[in-house]
Amino acid sequence: MTLYQQIEADRMIAMKASDELRLSTLRMISTVMKNAMIAKKGELTDEEVQKILRTEVKKRKEAHEAFLKADYQDKAAQEKTEMAMIEAYLPAQMSDQDLEQLVSKTLQAANMSEPSQFGQAMGVVMKELAGQADGAKVQSLIKKILNT
């Protein structure tokens, strides 16, 4: 079963169970995926679905932070819950320690040690990680390593 099919099946389960928050979250994800399929004019791969899900998690994270700053605790809690629901479909994120080791090894293997190589380094490392870590964490690690 593909990731898209799993999300659709879970949406149906949420509908039958009258789980309104899960249902609305999965409907929103389903709509975004269907729009992507229309734009692509074909089925989505699991990697493309994961990219969509990571984008949606990022949106929820930003909204959560904005609601906290505006002191809307109930809205912030809802965004955090939706974020957790979406993250359940993504592969586990790499630990900070493992991430730092992988970034260091990748940069050494690519012979990158100058701050001017930051853009190239980001490309190489993100390709190696394939969605196993947050881009902001990777960015700060690369800056730290290249500036030393």
Regarding whether 64 and 135 lie in a shared domain, the answer is: no
Return the pLDDT at 148: 54
CB 117, CB 146: distance < 8 Å: yes
Regarding whether 79 and 119 lie in a shared domain, the answer is: no
pLDDT tens by residue, the chain, 148 residues: 899 999 999 999 999 999 999 999 999 999 999 999 999 999 999 989 999 999 999 999 999 999 999 999 999 999 999 999 999 998 887 788 888 888 888 888 887 777 877 888 888 888 877 777 777 788 888 888 877 5
And the tokens for 57?
A: 């998690």
Return the pLDDT at 86: 95
Regarding whether 139 and 108 lie in a shared domain, the answer is: yes
Return the pLDDT at 136: 79
* CATH classification of the domain holding 108: 1.10.10
Boundary of a domain, candidates 65, 87, 109: 87
Regarding whether 122 and 100 lie in a shared domain, the answer is: yes
Cα–Cα distance, 112 to 122 (Å, whole number): 11
31: containing domain: 3-87
Boundary of a domain, candidates 87, 111, 129: 87
Return the pLDDT at 107: 81
What are the contacts of 104-110 at 24+ separation with CB within 8 A?
104/145, 107/142, 107/145, 107/146
Regarding whether 65 and 35 lie in a shared domain, the answer is: yes
Total number of domains in the chain: 2
